Amino acid sequence: MDRPDRVAGAVVGSAVGDALGAPFEFGPAGVYTARFPDGVGTMCGGGGWDPGEATDDTQMAVLVAESLLERGGLDLPDMFGRFRRWAAGGPKDIGLQTEDVLTSGEEWDLAAALHFQVNGRAAGNGSLMRAATSAVYFAARGRTATMDAARRIAALTHGDRAAWEGTAVLHELIRVALDGGDPLSAVQDTLAGVHGDHRERWAGVLAPGWHPEAATEFNGAVWPCLGAALWALRTTDSYENALAAAVDVGGDTDTVAAVTGALAGAVYGFGAIPARWTEPLHVPLPGYGDRVLRTPGLVDLARRLDGASPRAVPTDFREP
Ligand SMILES: [Mg+2]
């Protein structure tokens, strides 16, 4: 499998997971198996979502991608401005914390920190859910740079460092998968790059023996969300089965499946994603007119992100 297949797999794989899980949000464990007893899941719609309609997870991932491509790199005020325009456009769903931050009227570099200061809790999974596109863009820069970029994008809406570190871990595991490596084998090395205050807790939920039933909080929080995605990847052997397992965890199903889909898509590639899932997939962009992205548009976006990716500067490089 070649890199373009993995790159498209990460971006489309995440969007498919989002749309597949959306109708089951806040459902109990086993909800996917109960709905599809023959194991052949479809984009069934429900809960206010049309079949194949992607939610805030993918909508924000597209905004991240377009900011990176149009600004030629990480322009945090621009990205925050795009998020705000989207939030004001009346998306069908938006995370509570993300909404508070984006509608506070505070500046881009203060809004999330002030929210955390006032509320004391800001470790939702809302920065993980939108990370597939930025993970593709920064992958070629190597581990330190992609983890750092993840933290900075996460911090736009999430003041809690736990969310930054989790998003950094996801960026790095996607980078490994895009290079053809096994993200599960890369967890230990990745943990070494996690901030010391947060490493132990992350090591717990990312451990090989961890199970979603061991979660100590709802999977709308960053730790069990990424933990469940890794568990789904670890306990299955295909993109399709990983996604089924992710939705079956229940709870915040669209986001758990979006995160699982980013990883599984990078591992198994675009060609492994069933056509019955990619065909109805569509991503409305509230605040941006009638724009709707479909699978070919997402594939194109993914390949442009990979192509535009800033390459690491060789260590022997010297300014003339
Ligand atoms: Mg969502």
Q: What is the CA radius of gyration of the chain?
A: 18
Give the integer Cα–Cα distance in Å for 241 and 248.
10
Cα dist. 293→4, 137, 162, 209 in Å? 19, 19, 31, 38
Residue 311 pLDDT = 61
Residue 320 pLDDT = 44
Ligand 1 centroid–CA 16 distance in Å is 12
Residue 120 pLDDT = 83
Ligand 1 centroid–CA 75 distance in Å is 24
Low-confidence ranges of the chain (pLDDT < 50): 314, 317-320
User: Do you know the residue count of the chain?
Assistant: 320
Ligand 1 centroid–CA 178 distance in Å is 24
Cα dist. 72→129, 235, 252, 307, 310 in Å? 22, 38, 33, 12, 9
Residue 310 pLDDT = 64
Task: Check: CB of residue 168 under 8 Å from CB of residue 194.
Answer: yes
**DSSP assignment, residue 120?**
S
Ligand 1 centroid–CA 320 distance in Å is 48
**DSSP assignment, residue 284?**
E
Ligand 1 centroid–CA 55 distance in Å is 5
Cα dist. 18→108, 181, 246, 267 in Å? 26, 24, 11, 17
Q: At what angle do helices 76-88 and 143-154 cross, to 10 degrees?
A: 40
Residue entry with tokens 């719609």: 45
Identity of residue 93: D
Q: Which of 98, 205, 99, 210 is nearest to 160 (CA)?
A: 98
**DSSP assignment, residue 125?**
S
Q: Taken in order 38, 40, 46, 47, is the CA torsion positive or negative?
A: positive
Give the integer Cα–Cα distance in Å for 265 and 34.
24
Please give the model's pTM, rounded to 2 decimal places.
0.95
Ligand 1 centroid–CA 311 distance in Å is 31
